[in-house]
Structure 1
Amino acid sequence: MLKSFAAAAAALIVASGFGQAQAQDYPSRPITMIVPFSAGGPTDTVTRLVAEAMGKDLGQQIVVENVGGAGGTLGAGRVAKADKDGYTLLLHHIGMATSATLYRKLPYDTLNAFDYVGLVTDVPMTLVARSDFEPKDLKGLIEYVKTNKDKVTYANAGVGAASHLCGMLFMSKIETPLTTVPYKGTGPAMTDLVGKQVDFMCDQTTNTTNQIKSGKIKAYVTTTKQRVASLPDIPTAEEAGLPGFEVGIWHGIYAPKGTSPEIIKKLTASLQKALKDPTVVQRFADLGTQPSSEADATPDALKAKLTSEIDRWAPVIKAAGVYAD
């Protein structure tokens, strides 16, 4: 028994030493950062900006891979099952929290299948419509959709997407169910909105700011407490008469559970540095958002955010009766 104990202890020491050596050499090859949505969407935009800055800091390229489908759960599931070596990461948004209620069966345990790196940003949402949509302001929009609820079409990027969540909250606030048109990503949804194939949607400023400024779509409100600096003429929902219609699409970076703490520390430090990069700060500002603070770009802050958001959205989703298999 003593020999067995000694052998086990020796194995642990060897494994620990190997893990530390692995962490010291990390990264020695390119890293894959999975974004669980289609290319060209708002989360994809955020991911590519952060991945480029972190890659420069770490001295290795971070390759962004789009693994869309099932409201982001396919990409998250891929990372949950990946090797615990720090070479496969996940950048996900608020859908990480809402999928815990939306999906009856997930291929992973949301809170316990990942290690946490840190929060990246909290992006405001905008309620927007095709450029020739009849309502002129939020009051007119609410009146119009209540009267024409069977004809109005609301676009979203699929179950669990940010646009889907924002839409559910809007319908809940105005107490009116609407015909929804789900797409496989925000990119194609926005294309059809610009092309006047659907009436309106709710989406992140990272995807709507340029379209609003160019006049390709019209904006009614932002879903923030204060006006968005890049869209100063757009009122908040509360200013326009719809208090409580507030939602921000926060993003965080995750690694498979069991990743070396030393590697997580390196990734967190790199994230914090990337979020101070002048190019990232400016590009985020252009898109209507800002980087998370150093205090929020930490594992503890991300875990706390995920936990609180699961609790916040569960009753909204249950009340709407929207579930996916």
Structure 2
Amino acid sequence: MQPLVNRCLAVLATTLLCAGIAQAQPYPNKPIRVIVPFAPGGTSDQMGRALAEKMAAMLGQPVIIDNKPGANGLLGADIVAKAAPDGYTILLGTNSTNAALKYLMKKLPYDQDTAFAPIGTIGSVPLMVVLGNDVPAKTLKEFVDLAKARPGDLSFAYTATSEQVAAEMLARMAGIQLNPIPYKSGGTAMTDLLGGRVTMITVSVAATAPHHRAGKIRGLAVTSAKRSAAAPELPTVNEALGLKDYELIAYFAVFAPAGTPAEVIARLNQAVNAAASSKEIQDKFAPIGFVFEPGTPEALARRNKLETAKWEKLIRDAKIEPQ
């Protein structure tokens, strides 16, 4: 009996020793999961996959993209908000998940202001107002005139907060009525635009510029205050309609669950900044309108606070009712 007890104690001691060694190993010592709260193929997904490859090389562990689309990014954000704060489940967030959702939803399953620890900003990109080629409007002014002539007959697709708010703001400021149609996938929305099942989309320049240049869709304007280098021939919405105050830019950043240790945040920030600053990624995304803005977790915290106030105003001005 005693030998059996001794063997059991030896096994237990070995197990505890191994566990202690594993816990003592520096972060990271296992794969990291990045939740992308939107469908594969969109700007968030493309950016996430490019960053993951660079981050994995720097961190020495696999960085795995896990798409969890739904509810303007809410489903994916909720997973990260409730994940263990150990740095192994992080969020590729946007203005949808980390600034606007609290004003679009009557109730969130987490506190948006306290559920996340900022890691670092990746960058930002303007949106493009786009029509299918079968729509009889060649300019944004012509589209507005068409909408006024056919009130309530035209629609727009959206998959994220920025797209919804951009279209609703445009409609309000131009004095037109457009019917919103939510989509889970940007690819499906684009397919329906090409098929004439929706009239317009307002989506990131990064996603639309290649199709615009190929003539598959008709870009009308960009939503930034200045023209985009990815499509310099397109006016801004302000230029096209004679407005002054229309501006909307989507931003992308990385967040961890609140309570993640400072040393883990610092390690992840180093990896995110290195990836966002790499020539390979910048050469790939800068031509399609992406502006990289790596920085500190503290800078992201300050930005996110300002962006949250900004998106509150945008959503209220667009008269979007919480769902």
TM-score between the two structures when normalised by the length of structure 1 = 0.88
The one-letter code of the counterpart of 1:36 is P
In the TM superposition, residue 132 of structure 1 has moved relative to its aligned partner by 2.3
Q: Which residue of 1 aligns with 2:206?
A: 206
Q: Which residue of 1 aligns with 2:165?
A: 165
Alpha-carbon deviations, 1:221-267, whole Å to 9, x = none? 11122221121211122222233221110011000111110000011
Cα distance between partner residues in 1 of 2:219 and 2:243: 15
User: Number of matched residues?
Assistant: 302
Q: Which of 300, 303, 309 pairs up with 1:302?
A: 300
Give unpaired runs (5+ residues) of structure 1: 1-17
The one-letter code of the counterpart of 1:130 is G
Is the CA contact 2:225–2:246 (under 8 Å) kept in the aligned structure 1?
no
Q: Which residue of 1 aligns with 2:8?
A: none
What is the RMSD of the two structures over their aligned residues, measured on CA atoms?
1.9
Q: Which residue of 1 aligns with 2:309?
A: 311
In the TM superposition, residue 185 of structure 1 has moved relative to its aligned partner by 2.5
Gap change, CA 1:190 and 1:81, over 3 Å in 2: same
In the TM superposition, residue 305 of structure 1 has moved relative to its aligned partner by 1.7
Question: Where do 1:27-42 residues align within 5 Å?
Answer: 27-42=28-43
Q: Which residue of 2 aligns with 1:131?
A: 133
Alpha-carbon deviations, 1:63-122, whole Å to 9, x = none? 000111111111111101101110000011111211011111111111111111011111
Is the CA contact 1:53–1:274 (under 8 Å) kept in the aligned structure 2?
yes
Q: Which residue of 1 aligns with 2:175?
A: 175
Alpha-carbon deviations, 1:169-206, whole Å to 9, x = none? 11221132311222112221112112222111100012
Tell me, yes or no, if structure 1 residue 144 matches structure 2 residue 142: no
Cα distance between partner residues in 2 of 1:286 and 1:194: 24
Gap change, CA 1:23 and 1:90, over 3 Å in 2: farther
Gap change, CA 1:66 and 1:23, over 3 Å in 2: farther
Cα distance between partner residues in 1 of 2:120 and 2:306: 15
The one-letter code of the counterpart of 1:91 is L
Give unpaired runs (5+ residues) of structure 2: 1-18
Is the CA contact 2:38–2:68 (under 8 Å) kept in the aligned structure 1?
yes
Question: Aligned to 1:238, what secondary structure does the other structure show?
Answer: helix
Tell me, yes or no, if structure 1 residue 234 matches structure 2 residue 234: yes
Q: Which residue of 1 aligns with 2:187?
A: 187
Gap change, CA 1:83 and 1:281, over 3 Å in 2: same
Cα distance between partner residues in 2 of 1:30 and 1:110: 26
Is the CA contact 1:23–1:260 (under 8 Å) kept in the aligned structure 2?
no
Is the CA contact 1:23–1:262 (under 8 Å) kept in the aligned structure 2?
no
Is the CA contact 1:23–1:263 (under 8 Å) kept in the aligned structure 2?
no
Q: Which residue of 2 aligns with 1:87?
A: 88
Tell me, yes or no, if structure 1 residue 114 matches structure 2 residue 112: no
Q: Which residue of 2 aligns with 1:99?
A: 101
Question: Where do 1:15-94 residues align within 5 Å?
Answer: 25-94=26-95
In the TM superposition, residue 24 of structure 1 has moved relative to its aligned partner by 6.0
The one-letter code of the counterpart of 2:305 is T
Cα distance between partner residues in 1 of 2:152 and 2:110: 37
